[in-house]
Amino acid sequence: MTTTAQYLDEAERFGANNYHPLPVVLERGEGVYVWDVEGRRYLDMLSAYSALNQGHRHPRIVRALVEQAERLTLTSRAFHNDRLGPFLSRLCRLTGFERALPMNTGAEAVETAIKAARKWGQDVRGVPEGDAEIIVFDGNFHGRTTTIISFSSEPLYRKGFGPFTPGFRLVPYGDLQALRGAMSRRTIAVLVEPIQGEAGVVVPPPGFMRAVKALCREHGALLLADEIQTGLGRTGRLFACDWEDVRPDVMIVGKALGGGVYPVSAILADDAVMNVFSPGTHGSTFGGNPLAAAVAMASLDVLVEERLAERAAELGAWFMDELRALESPVVEEVRGRGLLIGVVIRSDAGPARPFCEALMERGILAKETHEQVIRFAPPLVVTREQLQEALPIIAEVLGRPLSPG
């Protein structure tokens, strides 16, 4: 048995069967590259679903992690720590929100946003508990907790996991008419991804987010933007909402906030919403711990100082053009923004999975999402040369070999 096969076997025997990973076992990473246990090198074009925007083991982030680990790692929120204040202030000043509430995983931050919206709905808007509704969209992905899957439109995510949390209403993504029709006095909030990543990098029609914001204002509802995947530079701006100059009432961040080394998430909001929380109403043992705060601060510094959003805008636009120029006979559409790119495989060419396997065999790691879509989302520290090297390989796999020279 190969080394790889042994690791796969062990993980399959002792692990739960809740993932279907590509059969590659990684043991080292640096920048945009990872190496498997057989010594093969791969270009990482998934970036842990955008949790690795700063690349693998960014030296500055690792240094922050190690230095903090040698000083103080965990206090709980029963006490203050000397990293939390600086982190919150850095995050607020960068994003322009008055307050931040740190959590750990993305799903926890989404839950926090839902709790904030519900409490605001009752305390500020005066909507009775049983009436309050949050509008969400078909194809949404906001995490895996029981409340969050309660409003998933994906049967696989829900089947067998009920009873579900009430108080959510689904409308088609990108459909303003439907949204307008669904909004009422009961609507306390709209929860939306500015681009749906897990649904297959689904980009709404131009002006959508701006119109959603306007509808929210009209109905006195909060706009909750889930930018856990699209935020922190991925789409070519700090937030995908920035493309339409939309400022949500609650911004939800995660993934790249932890710089690829540690789970850190947060919600951002102004006093009017954040002040619904009082001591005891919400919390997390690990949320805002000094290790997380030190790592997140370094992650934000790298994002800003290495101009990762600008890089994503420039390289993403170019790379998307190059992918379209391949004119692959198996590709229906190339879509996305910045370095969040979806290549949609024509249904008559079969599912996307075998294409991802073929890419893997040739040293490129990408993962299919929702059967037909290959997501290309490399770390934002990637260079044009590194992407250039990937193009002939992608061309070959998509059935349109480039002539040499």
Ligand X SMILES: *Cc1c(COP(=O)(O)O)cnc(C)c1O
Verify whether residue 255 is a known catalytic residue: yes
Binding of ligand X at residue 142 (CB under 6 A)? Answer: yes
CA of residue 341 relative to chain centroid, distance: 13
Taking the complex as a whole, how short is the minimal distance between the CB of residue 105 and ligand X, in angstroms?
4
| Segment lying near ligand X (by CB under 6 A), choices 11-19, 100-108, 158-166, 181-189 | 100-108
Which 335-374 residues touch ligand X, going by CB under 6 A? none
| Segment lying near ligand X (by CB under 6 A), choices 5-13, 106-114, 364-372, 394-402 | 106-114
| Segment lying near ligand X (by CB under 6 A), choices 136-144, 206-214, 300-308, 369-377 | 136-144
Taking the complex as a whole, how short is the minimal distance between the CB of residue 351 and ligand X, in angstroms?
21
Catalytic residue, chosen from 87, 119, 137, 226, is 226
Binding of ligand X at residue 111 (CB under 6 A)? Answer: no
3-state SS string for the chain: CCHHHHHHHHHHHHCCCCCCCCCCCEEEEEECEEEECCCCEEEECCHHHHCCCCCECCHHHHHHHHHHHCCCCCCCCCCCCCCHHHHHHHHHHHHCCCEEEEECCHHHHHHHHHHHHHHHHHHHHCCCCCCCEEEEECCCCCCCCHHHHHCCCCHHHHCCCCCCCCCEEEECCCCHHHHHHHCCCCEEEEEECCCECCCCCECCCCCHHHHHHHHHHHHCCEEEEECCCCCCCCCCCCCHHHHHCCCCCEEEECHHHHCCCCCCEEEEECHHHHCCCCCCCCCCCCCCCHHHHHHHHHHHHHHHHCCHHHHHHHHHHHHHHHHHHCCCCCEEEEEEECCEEEEEECHHHCCCHHHHHHHHHCCEECEEECCCEEEECCCCCCCHHHHHHHHHHHHHHCCCCCCCC
Catalytic residue, chosen from 87, 97, 141, 376, is 141
Residue 17, Cβ density class (10 Å: 0-12 exposed, 13-18 middle, ≥19 buried):
exposed
| From 121, 167, 197, 233, residue interacting with ligand X (rule: CB under 6 A) | 197
Binding of ligand X at residue 378 (CB under 6 A)? Answer: no
Binding of ligand X at residue 137 (CB under 6 A)? Answer: no
Total binding residues toward ligand X, as defined by CB under 6 A: 15
Binding of ligand X at residue 316 (CB under 6 A)? Answer: no
Binding of ligand X at residue 139 (CB under 6 A)? Answer: no
| From 47, 53, 105, 235, residue interacting with ligand X (rule: CB under 6 A) | 105
Binding of ligand X at residue 110 (CB under 6 A)? Answer: yes
| Segment lying near ligand X (by CB under 6 A), choices 178-186, 209-217, 226-234, 370-378 | 226-234
Taking the complex as a whole, how short is the minimal distance between the CB of residue 228 and ligand X, in angstroms?
4
**Distance in angstroms (rounded) separating the CA atoms of residues 186 and 134:** 8
Binding of ligand X at residue 287 (CB under 6 A)? Answer: no
Binding of ligand X at residue 193 (CB under 6 A)? Answer: yes
| Segment lying near ligand X (by CB under 6 A), choices 82-90, 135-143, 209-217, 351-359 | 135-143
| From 187, 229, 235, 299, residue interacting with ligand X (rule: CB under 6 A) | 229
Verify whether residue 115 is a known catalytic residue: no
Binding of ligand X at residue 143 (CB under 6 A)? Answer: yes
Catalytic residue, chosen from 119, 255, 319, 367, is 255
**Active site residue ranges:** 141, 226, 255
Residues near ligand X (CB under 6 A) are: 49, 105-107, 110, 141-143, 193, 197-198, 226, 228-229, 254
